[in-house]
Amino acid sequence: MGTTLNVPAALERSFFDREVLEVARDLIGRVVRHRTPAGVVAVRLSEVEAYAGQADPGSHAYRGRTPRTAVMFGPPGHAYVYFSYGMHWCMNLVCGPEGEASAVLLRAGAVVEGLELARSRRPAAKKDVDLARGPARLTQALGVDRALDGADVCSGGELEVLAGSPVADADVVWGPRVGVAGAGAPTPWRVSLVNDPTVSAYRVGGRRSPGTRST
């Protein structure tokens, strides 16, 4: 069985009701925890990316509100879950004032609770450090899908973000976002733990068409 945490209460909404880069930086070391009938899996975040809504060409919300992005324009502290490349789910956490549509993409982390369940969801992973190494693998390990789009992570529900173990500035590094092409490509808004084996490999943008965005 995996390690069981002595889990604290979920982070309060005020944590998310801040500027997106502040939230992204402070999410490193926090724990995302999902309770399902099959059991509980928790992931300590090692890598995230910031997206600044309508001010950011790399964001899904850049051209305004749509049925798909409505959650991003709502209050902070909610999950925005979308289907990527017609293959897998990605999860973001909405932050900043309501209406600004900022969000942080959860890219990678270490499974710290529910290891056996995470392994069963990710049978292709050869090592435990690969269980949540990448945004699609992270959602698979946690058992996250479209049903959690709009979930309130501050209300004590099945999906929560817990205090975890915040890290010092010396232990994080900023760099370009992964796979973002076009005007949003040079933005150094990916933050990750230094030399952590769960951080995903960097991939230069260009795979997406000009009209396709990350969050």
Is residue 183 pLDDT above 70, yes or no?
no
Q: Are 69 and 80 in contact (CB under 8 A)?
A: yes
In this prediction, residues 156-184 reach a mean pLDDT of 88
- Comparing CA positions, the residue from 94, 73, 45 lying closest to residue 193 is 45
The contacts of residue 164 (CB under 8 Å, 6+ apart) are 29, 30, 31, 44, 45
Structure-model confidence comparison of residues 115 and 63, the more confident one: 115
Residue 7 pLDDT > 60? no
Q: What fold characterizes domain 13-193? A: 3-methyladenine DNA Glycosylase; Chain A (3.10.300)
Q: Are 103 and 82 in contact (CB under 8 A)?
A: no
For the whole model, what pTM was predicted? Answer: 0.88
Query: Is residue 192 within 8 Å of 177, Cβ to Cβ?
Result: no
Instruction: Answer yes or no: is pLDDT of 115 > 90.
Output: yes
Mean pLDDT, residues 132-150 taken together: 96
